[in-house]
Chain A
């Protein structure tokens, strides 16, 4: 009974924690510019994410190692420093983007400029981690995140033609702006399949002391949680398509994106959007900060864990605190939070093969997963998709930046 409750809680918290700065901004842009045509990208990205998360949980439950630890042990530091460095850079940028997202949400609520909120929000993120434990952090973030279901409610209220929406799940080429379409596809994949999520998931499985009998929990939580979670992302895209699409604009700021709720929720629209954005980004900021601590501590073999007494894991605490401070510095340099988000998610796709390919090797090594190896079809599919994604990203990012 307790296990079923845990699965349900895991699924619910995955839904609540699914959308953040990256998914909201890419889905809003995709919907506004291309209607429902990019729904398939969210669906494919979610399948990739769920498969990878299941693997990350499996290696933690069976091999008792997080992703970062396993990669260092199997491939050595020479190889590991490349994905480690890349992931830390992306973590820093994305963390600055998420904190910026919360700050924009507070700005939408109060009207006070977002720069003023960066430091207080950073402090709040740090306090939650400092004072909380893993259960409080994971479940609290997930349950608060239920406010993001407003994006699903909005679709319900707007009632778009189901047949037209369903057509968006079949990949198609647009009649206009092919480069932009490809760039948004890449961005949606990068926003969905975040490396931090995977290592956070495997570290969480270790913090919660999963073992082999828990593998079914892992499978259900990853597939159902990510699957249902993606509905929120799709809700953002569909709402943007229905409300903002006919305006023929490009969503260049969160203020514009917030307007998508006005026809549905009236004068509460902007407030509700701000709450969804703020809570989603705040949860992600906590997870990214913790993940940076996890990755560093696991790579260098320090004691880690948010459930450990802080004095027993001093280097871990110092590591996540330092990363948080650095990202606040980046945020205070004055980049636009939305631009920051889009750059981070596009770069994520470029580095993805560095993270996914060694991971696939680990998932077929009995030393780490015993008899619970991955199937060859899944492996092949993941390898092909991540390489294809990275190649596409390498082509479209320069085109997007230099106006192809």
Chain B
């Protein structure tokens, strides 16, 4: 498996096939005298930001704090929960458990107040 080619930037879906986001970052664990281990996949704009530039990452993380989701971002899914890596990355959690949906839920609450929402 090529981590950058097969995992990074791929679509993540939860146990029920719902979109959770993309693999915005990867967390590697350094081990003495052994190659590093893939510890977790990260989802969230700040993970993306840090990949591009640490300053951008901090800035985006600041915005995430500003809208009240900073503490849970980037969302971290332990690699032991990754079930399958193919066209999509399937993980054995649900959107709800992972808190990947906090923003979606906040926006949904607003949208549901608009007439004609379905």
Taking beta carbons and an 8 Å cutoff, which residues of A are in contact with B? 64, 69, 72-73, 76-78, 80-81, 127, 130-131, 299-303, 309-311, 314-315, 317-318
B12 contacts which chain A residues (CB < 8 A)? 301
- Cβ–Cβ contact B51 & A315, under 8 A: no
Residue of A nearest to B51 (CB): A77
Contact segment of B29-37, B58-66, B102-110: B102-110
Complex alpha-carbon distance, A69 and B19, angstroms: 13
Cβ-based interface call for B40 (8 A): no
The answer to whether B9 touches A76, judged by C-beta atoms less than 8 angstroms apart, is: yes
Question: Which residue of B8, B51, B104 contacts A314 across the interface (Cβ within 8 Å)?
Answer: B104
Determine if A77 and B48 form an interchain contact, defined as CB atoms under 8 angstroms apart.
yes
**Chain B residues near A (Cβ < 8 Å):** 4, 8-12, 18-22, 24, 43, 45, 48, 51-52, 87, 103-105, 107-108, 111-112, 114, 116-118
The answer to whether residues A317 and B107 also contact, given A76-B4, A77-B9, A310-B118 and a CB cut-off of 8 A, is yes
Q: How many A-B residue pairs have CB under 8 A?
A: 61
Q: Across the interface, do B52 and A81 meet the contact criterion of CB distance under 8 Å?
A: yes
Main secondary structure of the interface of A (DSSP, over half): helix
B104 cross-chain contacts in A, Cβ below 8 A: 302, 314-315
- Apart from A77-B24, A77-B51, 5 more pairs, CB < 8 Å: A73-B9, A76-B9, A130-B114, A300-B22, A303-B19
Identify which of A77, A301, A314 gathers the most chain B CB atoms within 10 Å of its CB. Answer: A301
B118–A315 contact, CB under 8 A? Answer: no
In angstroms, Cα B24 to Cα A77, docked, is 8
CA gap between A258 and B1 in the complex, in Å: 61
**B112, A301: Cβ atoms under 8 Å?**
no
Bound CA–CA A71/B12 (angstroms): 16
- Other-chain residue from B22, B51, B103, B112 in contact with A311 (beta carbon distance below 8 A): B112
Query: Top 6 A-B pairs ranked by shortest CB distance?
Result: A301-B22, A314-B107, A314-B108, A301-B21, A303-B19, A318-B107
Is A301 a contact partner of B114 (Cβ separation < 8 A)? no
Contact between A315 and B103 (Cβ–Cβ < 8 Å)? yes
Question: Which residues does chain B contribute within 8 Å of A130, judged by CB atoms?
Answer: 114, 116-117
Q: Is the CB of A311 within 8 A of B11?
A: no
A139 to B68: give the CA distance in the assembly, Å: 41
From known contacts A130-B116, A311-B117, infer whether A78 and B52 are also in contact, taking CB-CB under 8 Å: yes
Name the A residues within 8 Å of B9 (CB-CB): 72-73, 76-77, 80
Measured between beta carbons, the chain A residues less than 8 angstroms from B118 are 309-311
Which chain B residue has the least Cβ–Cβ distance from A302? B19
What is the CA–CA distance of A303 and B87 in the complex, to the nearest angstrom? 16
User: What are 8 A-B interface contacts by the 8 Å CB criterion?
Assistant: A72-B9, A73-B9, A80-B9, A130-B116, A302-B19, A310-B111, A314-B107, A318-B107
Assess the A77–B116 pair: CB atoms within 8 A. Answer: no
Q: Which residues of chain A have C-beta atoms less than 8 A from B103's C-beta?
A: 315
Q: How far is the CA of A127 from the CA of B11 in the complex (A)?
A: 30
CA distance A361 to B22 in the complex (A): 22
